[in-house]
Structure 1
Amino acid sequence: MSQTVAVLDIGKTNVKLALFDDGRLLWEKSAPNRVLPGPPYPHEDVESAWTFFLDALREAARAHQISAIVPTAHGAAGALIGESDLAAPVMDYEFTGVEVVEPDYAALRPPFAESMSPKLPGGLNLGRQLAYQKWRCPDLFADAKHFVGYPQYWAWRLTGVAASEVTTLGAHADLWAPRRGQPSSLVKALGVDHLLPPLRRAFDPLGPIQPEIAALIGLAPETQVFCGIHDSNASLLPYLVSRQAPFTVLSTGTWVILMCVGLSLDQLDPRDDTLANVDALGRPIACGRFMGGREYAAIAGGGGNPDLDAIERVIASGAMALPCFSGQGGPYAMSRGVIRGDVATRDRAALATLYCALVSDLMLTRLGATTGDLIVEGTFAGNLPFCQTLGALRPTQRVFAARDTAGTARGAAMIAHWPPSYPIAVPTPVDSVSIERLGAHRDAWTAALPSPMSGS
């Protein structure tokens, strides 16, 4: 019988359908993920994504016998659903207007010691989105029957079954208490406890796909749909079953998420934008984050990856990029990014690479991740000078590059057959290099950093 798993991968920038069989990528297709301006607020273009997935599933089903569907999505989106449709649009987390509720929301928000979730801008705290929807869109909110994470929205749309799941509730949402393994005090204080459906594991099948959808796209009516998982936690899954702690996975794309497995939570500091995410097994994981992909693009201004000679030219010039170029994420989100010194256009990618390596190194140090392997997964794994520079900054740790552009989706596919019975691909070791004057450049860069963001 076919074990082909279709993964619905909903990122901030793109949506993708990818098919896997025993960890092998068989087929994939992607499209841009759009944001609509509103009213009532900027929101995800859910219907365009739905049309894309239906068309892509129909196309894929002509060539492959799909046995299961798994959704995965970024952690800063959730859905208020009614009887048969969305009760309110799925808010875009970059909607800054949500902060109008902050004075009232702050009075209800759990302390960091409980939620392990720092105060973040815009709608990055999912609880703040909920508060805005309840207080500013009461007519829409009144029609809500459930609130679910974004992966679980897609599972609900395919099956009609609503479920809560910890990797999304525990992703800087303010809605989960990781040490206690239960919803945080915010859920009751905000009066939304009745909206959370029963808790299910990411690995749980919610049921077969609804018959009319199966018929529309040509899938077998018994095709199972799984609860789904937060995308960074999907990236982590292959390593949870193939490596011994301690180790750190840098999941890179629009965001760089540093997930430190086997590390104490005691050193986490909201001012650094360090936090605890919750893995698919319900365990809190010490994490840090910054918007590395977007910052890289802002600094580099286009072009490909640099070489080490370009990195050394930037260092020799004394030029440096200081945070923050995205306006969100990391210890310096409240500071305006600046480039000091003159950098040739051909070396802008080198400056961006050096910047992202320095921020990663800084956050690893503040997290206390001084031992164990570093596995770079996602976009930056294809930027060898980034991996080499990170290794040169942290010579006591080994750096590996997981050169797999489908890493998040591949991890998500595992939950349909957990634990996986097939071998997990081993990431490639990155050879150590010496980069002239890198230590002195890091010292100068660190001395020039602005004050960190405030948090609580």
Structure 2
Amino acid sequence: MKQKVTAVFDIGKTNKKFFLFDKDFKEVYREYIKFDEIQDEDGFPTEDIVALHKWLKELFHRILEAQEYDVKAINFSTYGASFVHLDENGELVTPLYNYTKPMDEALIASFYEKYGPEMEFSAKTGSTNSGMLNSGMQLYWLKHTKPEVFKKIKYSLHLPQYMSYIFTGIPLSEYTSIGCHTALWDYEKKDYHSWVYEEEIHKILPPIVSTETSINMNYNGKRIKIGVGIHDSSSALLPYVRSSKEPFILVSTGTWSVSLNPFSDKTLTVKDIQDDCINYMRINGKPVKSARLLLGNEYTHQVHALADHFGLAHDYHKTVLFDSNLYHKIKKDFKYCFRWNAIEDANMPAKTEIIYDNFKEAYHHLMIELVLLQVQSIKRAAGNTKIKKLFVDGGFSDNDVFIKLLSHYLRDMVLRSTNSSLGSALGAAISISDTKLNSKFLKENYSLKKHVPFIIN
């Protein structure tokens, strides 16, 4: 008898992944692929959307024909800030523009002159001025720099919804993609910002549906529930929201460390924007106050520089475990030693000064400084919300020094680390399921670990 499964395409910038989950959300199959980037009309590298489309269809047909699995549902999780533009025949009008593509500063300035002031606009939309990373600005850019191309657009779909459209032919919009630093959504009005209507951008944005919407279709002679797609950050947050009864902050670590607070019901302030806070969105349209820190990027730069200084291999840092005696020694006459490469901080010196004769001490000092930055970022995300629970996932969740220091500096919070490479894929499967998650879900599926602060001498 075939195993009943939910299929999920999880599309990252680098890796394209496909998963099958059983009824208990256990992974039963996975497949990965990478595509070479192509160039847009300006020669800027971007996603090969045609190759991606072809892979999706071929892989899904292969799985449908497999003897082992009975696919009951399919959903899609992808990175954000990316629009696919379709003409009246459903054909691609433009390449999938890369959100790192530079945008004309004069055009951005003209936008804020018309619809600003910038800080107030950013607070309302939960979106700092980030060029193409604000997907709404991509539409403004197209309209004002490529008007003939813009006129051909019947629908603009965020990437998760385009994935769904490939299988359903139904153009839709949904909350998590709209609310993710797009500059499209007014969090006070709970509607598109007035600029969207004034520029008549709303005419090419399909109807908005709940992220939990699914379309029951006869696909290749088989009844399948097809989801409308979900933005990957919101998707990764969903299992925590569904299974935790108390308010929490999730610190999702990697190149960026993003502190996500789904329990803040206030509009961002100008001060929040100045502190680099933005909004993501939950599947029900509620804001998720978030603070960003370029932690992983900075960490890599600094540990490589330290390894070079002491003549060690670049991966030597992975062998270092937390030493409370070293911590107390460093804290006695503590001074800031590290000049950051990609982070601005008032405490950092004019240049890095390594005052230790061994890697382990210098590394502990580095981690104290980085964790103090992380603590500030978490507190910015928390704002005035009373939160006593903290989850840490991603690359730093298994860094012993980072976790021990974080639990020490946030002693009034209960810190738990989780380990799930499935993250956003699992969230996408859950979002179209009627299954209720219990409090044991994270423990069973995410290797949940509780951390107790070390004893202060």
Mark yes or no: TM-score above 0.5. Answer: yes
Q: 1:72 aligns with which of 61, 70, 77?
A: 77
CA distance in 1, matches of 2:134, 2:330: 37
Q: 2:441 aligns with which of 409, 424, 435?
A: 424
1:153 is aligned to 2:162: yes
CA distance in 2, matches of 1:348, 1:147: 50
- Residues 65/406 of structure 1: CA separation in 2 closer, same or farther (3 Å cut): same
Q: Is the 8 A contact 1:116 1:275 kept in 2?
A: yes
Shift of 1:297: 3.1
Q: Is the 8 A contact 1:73 1:229 kept in 2?
A: yes
- Residues 373/300 of structure 1: CA separation in 2 closer, same or farther (3 Å cut): same
Shift of 1:348: 8.5
Shift of 1:116: 2.4
CA distance in 1, matches of 2:39, 2:363: 32
CA distance in 1, matches of 2:368, 2:27: 32
User: For residues 386-445 of structure 1, what are the alpha-carbon distances to aligned partners after superposition, in whole Å with 9 as ceiling and x for unaligned?
Assistant: 222211121111111111111221111101213435752232212322589xxxxxxxxx
1:24 aligns to what? 26
CA distance in 2, matches of 1:338, 1:51: 52
One-letter code aligned to 1:273: D
Deviates more, 1:109-118 or 1:152-161: 109-118
CA distance in 1, matches of 2:91, 2:326: 55
Shift of 1:42: 3.6
1:382 is aligned to 2:398: yes
CA distance in 2, matches of 1:288, 1:65: 41
- 1:11-160 matched pairs, under 5 angstroms: 11-21=12-22, 22-32=24-34, 34-40=36-42, 41-54=44-57, 56-57=59-60, 60-61=63-64, 62=66, 63-82=68-87, 83-109=89-115, 111-120=121-130, 122-160=131-169
CA distance in 2, matches of 1:311, 1:208: 62
Deviates more, 1:296-305 or 1:314-323: 314-323
CA distance in 2, matches of 1:77, 1:389: 37
Shift of 1:2: 5.0
- Residues 13/247 of structure 1: CA separation in 2 closer, same or farther (3 Å cut): same
Helix, strand or coil for the counterpart of 1:96? coil
Q: 2:353 aligns with which of 334, 337, 341?
A: 341
Deviates more, 1:301-310 or 1:15-24: 301-310
CA distance in 1, matches of 2:442, 2:258: 21
User: For residues 320-357 of structure 1, what are the alpha-carbon distances to aligned partners after superposition, in whole Å with 9 as ceiling and x for unaligned?
Assistant: 4454528xxxxx49xx9986123877889767755553
Shift of 1:152: 0.7
Count of residue correspondences: 422
Q: 1:167 aligns with which of 176, 182, 185?
A: 176
Q: Is the 8 A contact 1:161 1:206 kept in 2?
A: no
1:363 aligns to what? 377
Q: Please report the TM-score for the alignment, with normalisation by the length of structure 2.
A: 0.81
1:445 aligns to what? none
Q: Is the 8 A contact 1:246 1:263 kept in 2?
A: no
One-letter code aligned to 1:112: S
2:243 aligns to what? 242
1:186 aligns to what? 195
CA distance in 2, matches of 1:23, 1:98: 45
CA distance in 2, matches of 1:417, 1:346: 47
2:297 aligns to what? 294
Q: Indicate the structure (1 or 2) with the bigger Cα radius of gyration.
A: 2
CA RMSD in angstroms, aligned pairs only: 3.3
CA distance in 2, matches of 1:172, 1:186: 15
CA distance in 1, matches of 2:196, 2:421: 36
Helix, strand or coil for the counterpart of 1:433? coil
- Residues 45/312 of structure 1: CA separation in 2 closer, same or farther (3 Å cut): farther
Q: Is the 8 A contact 1:7 1:17 kept in 2?
A: yes
Shift of 1:51: 4.1
CA distance in 2, matches of 1:174, 1:94: 16
User: For residues 209-249 of structure 1, what are the alpha-carbon distances to aligned partners after superposition, in whole Å with 9 as ceiling and x for unaligned?
Assistant: 754xxxxxxxx632222011111111111122222342101
One-letter code aligned to 2:245: Q
Q: Is the 8 A contact 1:70 1:413 kept in 2?
A: yes
Q: Structure 1: which 5+ runs fail to align?
A: 212-219, 327-331, 437-456
Shift of 1:258: 1.3
Deviates more, 1:415-424 or 1:223-232: 415-424
One-letter code aligned to 2:427: G
Identity among equivalent positions (%) equals 23
Q: 2:342 aligns with which of 325, 329, 338?
A: 325
Q: Please report the TM-score for the alignment, with normalisation by the length of structure 1.
A: 0.81
User: For residues 43-101 of structure 1, what are the alpha-carbon distances to aligned partners after superposition, in whole Å with 9 as ceiling and x for unaligned?
Assistant: 22223333443454456553432221111112222222222232111221111235452
CA distance in 2, matches of 1:337, 1:30: 43
Q: Is the 8 A contact 1:250 1:377 kept in 2?
A: yes
User: For residues 110-136 of structure 1, what are the alpha-carbon distances to aligned partners after superposition, in whole Å with 9 as ceiling and x for unaligned?
Assistant: 62342122222x422112222222222
Shift of 1:155: 0.8
Helix, strand or coil for the counterpart of 1:75? coil
Q: Is the 8 A contact 1:300 1:351 kept in 2?
A: no
Q: Is the 8 A contact 2:7 2:20 kept in 1?
A: yes
1:443 aligns to what? none
User: For residues 153-196 of structure 1, what are the alpha-carbon distances to aligned partners after superposition, in whole Å with 9 as ceiling and x for unaligned?
Assistant: 11112221111111111111110112322111121133211011
1:402 is aligned to 2:418: yes
User: For residues 373-395 of structure 1, what are the alpha-carbon distances to aligned partners after superposition, in whole Å with 9 as ceiling and x for unaligned?
Assistant: 11012222232332222111211
- Residues 300/190 of structure 1: CA separation in 2 closer, same or farther (3 Å cut): farther
Q: Is the 8 A contact 1:299 1:349 kept in 2?
A: no
